[in-house]
Amino acid sequence: MKRAFKYRFYPTDAQAAELSRTFGCVRKVYNLALAARTEAWALRQERVNYNATSAMLTAWKKTEELAYLGEASSVPLQQALRHLQTAFTHFFARRAGYPRFKSRKKSRKSAEYTTSAFRFRAGELTLAKMTEPLEIVWSRPLPKGASPSTVTVSQDSAGRWHVSLLCEDPTVGPLAPTDAAVGVDAGLDHLLTLSTGEKISNPRHERRDRTRLARAQRHLARKAPGEGANRAKARRKVARIHARVADRRRDTLHKITTRLVRENQTIVIEDLTVRNLLKNGKLARAISDAAWSEFRSLLEYKAQWYGREVIAVDRWFPSSKLCSVCGTLRDKLPLHVRTWTCDCGTTHDRDVNAARNILAAGLAVSACGAGVRPQRSTPGGQSATKQEPPRREP
Ligand SMILES: [Zn+2]
């Protein structure tokens, strides 16, 4: 399976200049080709394909005005035309809107190199038009013997440089099956609560980072749009804090999802769309919606790699108010009540009980199908509607 490995790197001044120039050329070529395709269609109802735009690129390089395009490596420019082709394919298939122009300020700065435009030897990556290899921070090893087929260089809004290497990863494959299954609840006090009783907290520093972010955002908001340098500085600061918060969060979610997938055959979560319906301000979860979707997508792609199953259950049933041991439903369970004791004598932690009910609902759905098999998880997961929660046999 092909897998992208992303690392931070520190370019020399010359490399940074070369890359910034390449990003500019990539954007220019993308925008020129988009304009040409749009015009051809609007004026002459002609469809311009990738090959035609590639011929245009050759012609553009010969004009005085665009001669500078010839100074950049041609591969990232060709890749930009391919990306535009993909954007149009999605548009024609009604999967996406009409392709948009890339903006100098707002669009992601990136350039994609294929094998003819880089050299990867003895763990050193050298890009076309460069003499020195990139100084990459190898925060984790590439799979043994891996050789990248595509390399993407990018710079984020906080000014950090990253390189992503697409490699064949032979270590990714189904794990030995296990009987273990777990239910995951988006807890009120904790990030996640597992049906095993374990509670996973927010990453350290999360609260402090959020306070800092809010302060930086207020500071930015006070700067008038015309304030040039000061405003740009404030914007950069916000971007830097944002990036740090997102990095820490992603790191935490990566660790949790890897562990859940390694330890369990089946992982049951609640469906986000339904969760949104339940949102009423008071029910603010410890995990944000953005973090939850990231959690879910990480979980789903890892489950696919390792032959595990992710089941998303709709939460129409009152999972907090239902005793996971005897199935008795309580009338009321105000939000401040964190633990309660059922008539059957079981004392429940509110969130753990909810996670257990989610697990039971998921397993019931799974059993209704053609038996529990690995690889049933599809991209996007499996959604199951349960009106009635399953009851455990006494
Ligand atoms: Zn009970």
Q: Is the pLDDT of residue 319 over 60?
A: yes
User: Is the CB of residue 184 less than 8 Å from the CB of residue 267?
Assistant: yes
CA distances from 183 to 112, 176, 273, 280, 382 (A): 40, 20, 18, 23, 15
Cα–ligand 1 centroid distance for 43 (angstroms)? 71
Cα–ligand 1 centroid distance for 278 (angstroms)? 24
Q: Is the pLDDT of residue 5 over 70?
A: yes
Q: Is the pLDDT of residue 276 over 80?
A: no
- Alpha-carbon gap, residue 90 to 98, rounded angstroms: 9
More confident residue, 255 or 96: 255
Token pair of 151 as six digits: 């390399």
Q: What is the mean pLDDT of residues 56-63?
A: 96
CA angle, residues 11, 77, 114, in degrees to nearest 5: 70
CA distances from 171 to 1, 143, 168, 238, 251 (A): 9, 7, 9, 38, 20
Q: Is the pLDDT of residue 372 over 50?
A: no
State pLDDT tens for residues 199-212: 988 777 777 888 88
Cα–ligand 1 centroid distance for 353 (angstroms)? 11
Cα 259 → chain centroid: 18
Output the pLDDT for position 12.
97
Q: What is the mean pLDDT of residues 200-225?
A: 82
- Alpha-carbon gap, residue 259 to 277, rounded angstroms: 29
Output the pLDDT for position 134.
97
- Please state the domain extents for the chain: 2-168, 181-202+252-368
State pLDDT tens for residues 144-177: 888 899 999 999 888 899 999 999 887 778 889 9
Q: Is the pLDDT of residue 383 over 50?
A: no
Residue with tokens 């129409």: 316
Q: Is the pLDDT of residue 382 over 50?
A: no
Q: How many CB atoms lie within 10 A of CB 153?
A: 24
Query: Helix, strand or coil for residue 136?
Result: strand
Cα–ligand 1 centroid distance for 97 (angstroms)? 51
- Alpha-carbon gap, residue 273 to 185, rounded angstroms: 14
Burial of residue 347 (number of CB atoms within 10 Å: 0-12, 13-18, 19+): exposed
Cα–ligand 1 centroid distance for 330 (angstroms)? 9
Secondary element (H or E) of residue 110: strand 109-114
Ramachandran region, residue 259 (left: φ > 0; alpha: ψ -120 to 50; beta: rest):
alpha
Ligand 1 ion local residues (Cβ < 5 A)? 323, 325-326, 328, 342, 344, 346
- Alpha-carbon gap, residue 161 to 181, rounded angstroms: 39
Q: Is the pLDDT of residue 129 over 50?
A: yes
Binning the chain into helix, strand and coil, the percentages to the nearest 5 are 45, 20, 40
Query: pLDDT band at residue 315, thresholds of 50, 70 and 90?
Result: low
Query: pLDDT band at residue 86, thresholds of 50, 70 and 90?
Result: very high
Cα–ligand 1 centroid distance for 329 (angstroms)? 8
Output the pLDDT for position 285.
66
Q: Is the pLDDT of residue 229 over 60?
A: yes
Query: pLDDT band at residue 244, thresholds of 50, 70 and 90?
Result: confident
Q: Is the pLDDT of residue 347 over 90?
A: yes
Output the pLDDT for position 153.
98
Query: pLDDT band at residue 65, thresholds of 50, 70 and 90?
Result: very high
- Alpha-carbon gap, residue 360 to 317, rounded angstroms: 12
Cα–ligand 1 centroid distance for 325 (angstroms)? 5
Q: What is the mean pLDDT of residues 353-361?
A: 91
Cα–ligand 1 centroid distance for 326 (angstroms)? 4
Query: pLDDT band at residue 113, thresholds of 50, 70 and 90?
Result: very high
> Which fold, 181-202+252-368?
Nucleotidyltransferase; domain 5 (3.30.420)
pTM comes to 0.65
**What percentage of the chain exceeds 90 in pLDDT?**
49
Query: pLDDT band at residue 380, thresholds of 50, 70 and 90?
Result: very low
Output the pLDDT for position 62.
96
Cα 285 → chain centroid: 20
Q: What is the mean pLDDT of residues 370-390?
A: 37
Output the pLDDT for position 284.
59
Output the pLDDT for position 394.
35
Secondary element (H or E) of residue 134: none
Q: What is the mean pLDDT of residues 300-324?
A: 85
Residues with catalytic roles = 185, 270, 351
User: Is the CB of residue 296 less than 8 Å from the CB of residue 379?
Assistant: no
